[in-house]
Amino acid sequence: MTEPNQPVTVKLLRDVVALGQKYSKTAFPNPTRNGCPNSSTLRAMAYRDRRLRLGDIPVSHVVSCSPCFQEYTRLRRMSVLTHGIQVTAASLVVLAVLFVSVRFVWNYTRGRGEPSISREHRAEPQPRVATQQAPPRIAPLALTVNLASFSPTRGDDAKGDSGNTVHLPQKSLRVNFLLPLGMEPGEYAVRLKDSTGTVVAEKLAVGQMNDGITSVEVDIDLAGASRGSFTLVIRPPGLSWRRFPVVVE
């Protein structure tokens, strides 16, 4: 027994409530369930349905009817369990959203401040692949061709050509043509035509005189030319073309 002025402790209050619950479970049998509310009303009470008005809650009957009290207690436990599961699920969802958000912010910040693994991989210097270098250019073959034998003689037409033939190898050439007698220094046009008359090479060269002989130097690439007969035509400054038979071999 407690004294009238002794304060009520939490433990004592819990003991009283537990005793009242135990008493209500068996102290009021009602096998015929007279005056009992339906199960939906008890469920609404147990689940704290806000649609119930205070006058609709049969509290006095529940605490004085053991079958109703036991059913209400069972439904209340289910309500508390369901609410706990919902709270736990909601907490997990909130934690998952929070984790994803933090992860996104961390990745975004790290992506702006430091290179990611993929970026670091891309930033690594790639091994230098040996490229196939073009073969060194072969210097043209230096060649001197004396065209003095094509000089006109007394009684010959100054524009005519003798029966001599110039022989050139099938290579890239740098030819120094020693021009026939009588040709003066100046700018010369040099062409090489194939047997069909197609120009396969055309150059401009400055004729220079040395020891009384004028010469012009031109580069002619015959490496890809076909073998056979060609015609070399040279035009002195202010004069007509001179023709010289050529054989590429």
- The pLDDT, as a whole number, for residue 3 is 52
Mean residue pLDDT of the chain comes to: 80
- The pLDDT, as a whole number, for residue 243 is 92
- The pLDDT, as a whole number, for residue 129 is 61
Q: Where are the domains of the chain?
A: 10-93, 141-153+162-248
What does pTM read for this prediction? 0.44
Q: What is the pLDDT of residues 13-52, one digit of tens each?
A: 455 556 566 766 777 888 888 889 888 888 888 888 888 7
Residue 119 has pLDDT above 70, yes or no: no
Q: What is the pLDDT of residues 144-203, one digit of tens each?
A: 999 988 876 555 444 444 568 999 999 999 999 999 988 899 999 999 999 899 999 999
Can you give the chain as a three-state secondary structure string?
CCCCCCCCCHHHHHHHHHHHHHHHHHCCCCCCCCCCCCHHHHHHHHCCCCCCCHHHCCHHHHHCCHHHHHHHHHHHHHHHHHHHHHHHHHHHHHHHHHHHHHHHHHHHHHHHHCCCHHHHHHHCCCCCCCCCCCCCCCCCEEEEEECHHHCCCCCCCCCCCCCCCEEECCCEEEEEEECCCCCCCEEEEEEEECCCCCEEEEEEEEEEEECCEEEEEEEEECCCCCCEEEEEEEECCCCCCEEEEEEEC
Q: Does CATH place domain 141-153+162-248 in 2.60.40.10?
A: yes
- The pLDDT, as a whole number, for residue 6 is 52
